[in-house]
Amino acid sequence: MLFLMIIAVIVLMLIDVPVAFALAITSAIFFIVEEVPLASYVQMATKGVDSYTLLALPFFILTGKLMNASGATDRIMELGKAIVGWMYGGLGHANIMASFLFAGISGSAVADAGGLGAVEVKAMEKAGYSKRFAIGVTAASATVGPIIPPSIIMIVYGIASGTSIGALFLGGIVPGILMAVAMMGLVSFLARREHKVERIPFRLANVRTALWHALPALITPFLIVMGILTGVFTATESGAVAAFYALIVALVSKQGLSLVSSWKLIVETVVESAGILLIMAMASVFSWTLAYQQAPQTAVSVLTELTSNPMALLLLLGILYLILGCFIEAIAIVTMTIPVVIPILQNFGIDPVHFGVVLALIMSIGTITPPLGIVMFTLCRVTKVSVPMFASLIMPWLALLIGVVALVMSFPELVLFIPKLAGAY
């Protein structure tokens, strides 16, 4: 029955049934066949979203939308140009810098691609860069969104695994920096193949001006991290604080925020949050059916027979999640699999914070991986390129990002250093 259920979910998703409904249908059939009371179905679904911590999700989503409405994306891009535009492949570096800074506001690769993507690609093409190069840089840089705090995927993982979300947020800082540095190195290499490369002269006055204009947006991640570190508020409460602060910034910005625009942003936030919560509710039911069939115990037994080495296990899980990320939405993957995986991690003595950040890295890569990467589809839509073309141009960036994952996987202290230093773990 277990094997049939997994195949059923995959088949339903391949024929374009939404992830939440694929999980719901498969789980419902299991309940009927096994004669489990359907009241338990509702109870498990409710339990999957009955979490105070989940309140952070809509708040962080709203924060990103409010900052977008305030014009933060343009100001952050200008700051990126002022800081690193003088380097060879200047706008490529500015693209990565902007995504790195915006990640501290949005917490999502899709928000980065949707908010900054069109702006960045258009600016690079106008400066003479090839469309392939511009899209490749933009897609790769968007993957830093789920790594730098706040991170939506880390919140979901923290809830599913019972891991400290504050520790996960802090653990993402060093890997996020490594991603940005590695991508900037590749930009310097690939930019030399471009026929025209614009380098923006470095002027301290430009940096000061751009920093001043972008400062209201840049305070957001600082506010979140410092609030958690000092214990002023929890990771969940930080979402509410960030959203309130973003509302003030949007209201006093030059663009302003009308009543109609405010309502539109709230509706968008509710719809996106509801979609995530529906996936989590149905994934919770599906996870219960797996536990009912003793899938965690079976998985532990199989993996223990395959290897007794924690690094080998991490590698196996990494490959598995990388493959899953090509086909399934990240939140569904995490919610479905983590209840099964956590006992395995405990059995092998693998730190859940380290694994959570590694998982976030892999899931972020999945957003730009064919055939179903959501950032891939977002950029294909806004830049009007085909999926096959995107698949060919993204390959060097995928190789680089997988290398960063391997590095973080091999050295747990890259993740655990800051949480331990801050006393958050």
Percent of the chain at pLDDT > 90 equals 9
In-domain check, residue 209: yes
This prediction has a pTM of: 0.80
Determine, yes or no, domain membership for 44: no
Rg (CA), the chain: 21
pLDDT at 179: 92
CA-nearest of 86, 198, 199, 194 to 130 is 194
C-alpha to C-alpha distance for 65 and 71, rounded to whole angstroms: 10
Encoded tokens for 1 = 């029955």
Give the helix, strand, coil percentages of the chain, each rounded to 5: 80, 0, 20
Judge whether 14 lies within some domain: no
Q: Give the position of tokens 């002023």.
A: 232
pLDDT of residue 351: 92
Average pLDDT, the chain: 80
* Range of the structural domain that residue 338 is part of: 53-421
**Hunting for tokens 């891009």 — which residue is that?**
77
User: Quick one: CA torsion of 76, 81, 84, 88, rounded to 10 degrees?
Assistant: 140
Neighbours of 343 (CB within 10 A): 14
Residue 37 placed within a domain: no
Phi-psi region of 294 (alpha: psi -120 to 50; beta: other; left: phi over 0): left
Residue at 196 is within a domain: yes
Contact 84, 94 (CB under 8 A): yes
> Do 59 and 282 form a contact (C-beta atoms < 8 A)?
no
In a domain, 45, yes or no: no
Task: Please give the Cα distance from 328 to 316 (Å, whole number).
Answer: 18
Buried b / exposed e along 61-77 (16+ C-beta atoms within 10 A): bbbbbbbbbbbbbbbbb
Say if 18 falls within a structural domain.
no
In angstroms, rounded to a whole number, what is the distance separating the alpha carbons of residues 294 and 4? 15
> Tens-digit pLDDT profile for the chain (425 aa)?
766 777 787 777 767 777 788 888 888 888 888 888 888 888 888 887 777 777 777 887 888 788 777 777 777 777 877 887 777 777 788 888 877 877 666 555 555 555 556 667 777 777 777 888 888 888 888 888 778 877 888 888 988 888 888 888 889 889 999 999 999 888 888 877 766 566 677 788 888 888 888 888 788 877 877 777 777 777 778 888 888 888 888 877 766 677 777 888 888 888 878 887 887 788 778 878 877 777 666 766 777 777 778 888 888 888 888 877 776 777 778 877 888 888 888 888 889 999 999 999 998 888 788 766 777 777 777 777 787 888 888 889 999 999 999 999 999 999 999 888 877 66
CA angle 157, 161, 164 (to 5 degrees): 75
Specify whether the CB–CB gap between 137 and 184 falls below 8 A. no
Number of domains in the chain: 1
pLDDT of residue 412: 92
Q: Does the residue 354 lie in any domain? A: yes
